[in-house]
Structure 1
Amino acid sequence: MTQSWASLGIDLHLEPAGPGLRKGLTDALRDAVRSGRLAPGTRLPSSRTLAADLGIARNTVADAYADLVAEGHLTARQGSGTRVAERAAPVPAAPHRKRPVRVPGRAGPAHDLTAGTPDLSAFPRTAWLKAARRALTAAPNDAFGYGDPRGRPELRAAVADYLARVRGVVADPDRIVVCAGVAHGLGLLTEVLSRRSGRSGRATVAVETYGLGFHREWLEAAGVRTAPLPFDADGTDPAALDAEQAVLLTPTHQFPMGGTLSPARRAAVVDWARRTGGLVLEDDYDGEFRHDRPPVGALQGLAPDRVAHLGTASKALAPGLRLGWLVLPPGLVDEVLAAKGYADTCGAPDQLTLAEFLTSGAYDRQVRLMRLRYRRRRDELVATLARRAPSVRVGGIAAGLHAVLLLPPGTESDVLRAAAWHGLGVQGLSWFRHPAADGAAGAPDGLVIGYGRPPDHAWQSALEALCRCLP
């Protein structure tokens, strides 16, 4: 019976050339070894398999292998087959030196208190694996095909139920688009705003005086102008909103200052959006993590037709999942899908697993567990600083995974230098301030401390390093 080439074992791409099959095959193998394409220790196909693949006689392959064994390029041992000899490692032939590529996370501070990342060691691996097993067992076959660009219907339905129950969001699964995190979602919305502005000029998005630099950079890289709103003791003031196409806010827990947008100001934002047709972009990055206050509902619940709600699993689970969602006004879905390229950019297995994690209650359990852990850390931070750095005021701690340490005037730069000396990763408050915001001369000095970031075993040493840096 003739055996198909597909069942004969290891594949090997070779293109014998030149006079004579044996010499051409030997030269091709030798070049593959010398160039490093076949690494030391690589097992080669049997002579019968390679002969069948190349359509030549088995003896020709056996002779070529024997020649290269004699030269020391290959080794042949009974029971282990023919392999590339260990001493045949290629010699680097790069004509010039390239600057090494920096890999994020490969090297960093000894103690990391930068904000924006949860305790990654707390990722619920066992519960996630159980959810994945259940989800994949129950998944229909079409889940592994080219999916709906909005995302898997199971995840959109689960997110809609969860957001309605926990965040007060008016969520129709048909108006939810799954994305690879808030940054991806913001990029899609930015693309929509740019397309809408067209030839009429650059779109303008109002942003908060204090916020994430990458938000501004993402908007401006897409050709969108950012205009900072005034910031006072009550937080972001929307009274200055005028002809902007959109406004980007963190109303539930202002990042990084930590306040909550007051009911009057929330109403003012909604009034502006309805009066002008503007779009509100609500970044609800850590709405589940409240410590000392009752839950504050999402702004989207006040105006589902004018607010695009951005959410993510990055804080409750881990940013490495790259799973987030947009809850969109009815007229915005098609435009976002066009910006997305009508493709589902998130893997179906992870979407199905997160859907199972949400519907089974595992997500709620993880949030409650981490909320308690983060609150204990926050309380320890506040108590330690009151004892060892009484000149430092701690703010923005009613919710979330970070705190703002307000420093004596003029000390922020000195504290950052001391932190670098002690191997402590922290961010100065000035780093989060919009460069075009008014009142820079009177801006407070401070640090933004991500107390949720370190694993439990590193928390005490990070806290001690912080105390050594403070005035």
Structure 2
Amino acid sequence: LLAEYLGRSRGALATPEDVTVCTSVTDGVRRLCHALRAEGITAVGCEEPGWTRLRDVIRAAGLDPVPVRTDGGGLRVADLAGHGGLRAVLTSPAHQFPLGSVLAPERRAALLQWARQVDGVVLEDDYDAEFRYDRRPVAALQGMDPSRVVLFKSLSKILSPALGIGWIVAPPRWTRHLHRSDQTATQPPTLDQLAFATLLESGAYDRHLRACRKRYRDRRDALVRALVEELPGAPVSGIAAGLHLILRLPAEVDTAAVVRAAGARSLRIADLAAYHATEDHADHGLVLGYGNLADGMVDEAVGHLRAAIEAGSR
């Protein structure tokens, strides 16, 4: 059922035997990293900037997370040639976190070509691909070469992180290793899995997704309008997708001070610099999540944000 749904909704090529259920994307990446290590792979390329938690998971599994730069076209695939011996890379091609870019078509093809040349594997984090508001989401990279791509997904952004259901879609080589080496791994409760299966089979899951897309699209539009009105000197970047956007700030603004001032106003935001593994970057801005922002609180939140930025500019 899940394999069929992934083929229909994400363009994935998978049989039920290719799908391994896990509790989250971090859990799935942890499991695969242990399999990679057992096969002699010692490092994983990671988007720079990228989700810090996955870098930590890779490191905890005994592998070296190698920063690979990203830009407006997603992962800079050409940079992989500068990392000799690298055979695995983690990427979020449908909607890069945190920059909000999409992996360009020519880079998608180049990434798969790189994986074939080095006998490597691409770890695809498909964390929020369903939430694209200006067009249909790009298909999963896994569908272009299921022999070289491992797809990770969970229900945390769509239903709830508390549900604890995710999955790994992997080629037989890695699936066999996952099943053989991780038989004691924690599994989502059977009742929760059955409930999710019922949602898929009945069409309720698709209806829920359509409702979520409209709600988040409207919220994002309202947030962008408010930011343009209140902070015209701070441009917004990132495609119309997902549950976050980037607010670029002038270089003279102390982003760390802005984050602290916002926290004092009960507004939780993140410094874009916090997602970098290196200090050699020019990114200067804030990551604004709107998934948990009440629709009626958008204008008030932006007012608090403006006050925090003013405090950070002194």
Tell me the TM-score normalized by structure 2.
0.93
Deviation for aligned residue 1:458: 4.7
- Relative to total residues, which structure has the larger strand share, 1 or 2? 2
Q: Which runs of 5+ in 1 are unaligned?
A: 1-157
Q: Which amino acid aligns with 2:205?
A: Y
* Structure 2 residue 308 is the aligned partner of structure 1 residue 469: yes
Deviates more, 1:276-285 or 1:330-339: 330-339
Q: Distance in 2 between matches of 1:203 and 1:276?
A: 14
Is 1:203 aligned with 2:46? no
Structure showing greater radius of gyration is 1
2:226 equivalent to 1:384: yes
Contact 2:147–2:171 under 8 Å retained in 1: yes
Equivalent residue, structure 1, for 2:237? 395
Superposition pairs of residues 176-191 of structure 1, within 5 angstroms: 176-191=19-34
CA distance in 1, matches of 2:177, 2:28: 13
**Cα distance in structure 2, aligned partners of 1:232 and 1:346:** 36
The count of aligned residue pairs is: 306
| Matching residue's letter, 2:31 | L
1:340 is aligned to 182
Identity %, equivalent residues:
42
Opposite residue 223 of structure 2, the aligned amino acid is: L
Q: Deviations over 1:189-242 (max 9, x none)?
A: 111112222xxxx70111100111111111111211111112334232011224
- Is the aligned partner of 1:236 residue 2:75? yes
CA shift for structure 1 position 419: 1.1
Separation in structure 1 between the aligned mates of residue 115 and residue 293 of structure 2, nearest angstrom: 40
Question: Using the alignment, how far apart are the partners of 1:195 and 1:305 within structure 2?
Answer: 19
More displaced 10-residue stretch of structure 1: 336-345 or 240-249: 336-345
- The ranges of structure 1 where at least 4 consecutive aligned residues each deviate by more than 4 angstroms after the TM superposition are 456-460
The aligned amino acid for 2:58 is L
Deviations 1:18-54 (A, max 9, x none): xxxxxxxxxxxxxxxxxxxxxxxxxxxxxxxxxxxxx
> Is the 8 Å Cα contact of residues 410 and 445 (structure 1) preserved in structure 2?
no
Q: What residue number does 1:296 align with?
A: 138
Candidates 28, 46, 51, aligned match of 1:212 = 51
Question: Once the 2 structures are TM-superposed, how far is the Cα of residue 469 of structure 1 from its aligned partner?
Answer: 2.0
Distance (whole Å) between structure 2 residues aligned to residue 339 and residue 316 of structure 1: 30
Check if 1:227 corresponds to 2:66. Answer: yes
Unaligned runs of 5+ in 2: none
1:272 aligns with 2:272: no
Match of 1:423 among 263, 266, 269: 266
Indicate if the aligned counterparts of 2:94 and 2:102 stay in contact, CA closer than 8 A. yes
In the alignment, what sits opposite 1:445? 284
Aligned-partner SS, 2:147: coil
8 Å contact from structure 1 (residues 401, 451) kept in 2 = yes
Alignment RMSD: 1.6
- Tell me the TM-score normalized by structure 1: 0.63
Q: Which amino acid aligns with 1:225?
A: D
Equivalent in the alignment of 1:137: none
Q: Which secondary structure state, in structure 2, belongs to the residue aligned with residue 425 of structure 1? A: coil
Q: For residues 250 and 363 of structure 1, what CA distance do their matches in structure 2 show?
A: 23
Within 5 A, what are the aligned runs for 1:130-149?
A: none
Residue 313 to residue 233, structure 1, CA distance change in 2 (3 Å): closer
Query: Post-superposition shift, 1:275?
Result: 1.2
Residue 313 (str. 1) matches residue 152 (str. 2)? no
Match of 1:170 in 2: 13
What SS class does the counterpart of residue 424 from structure 1 fall into? coil
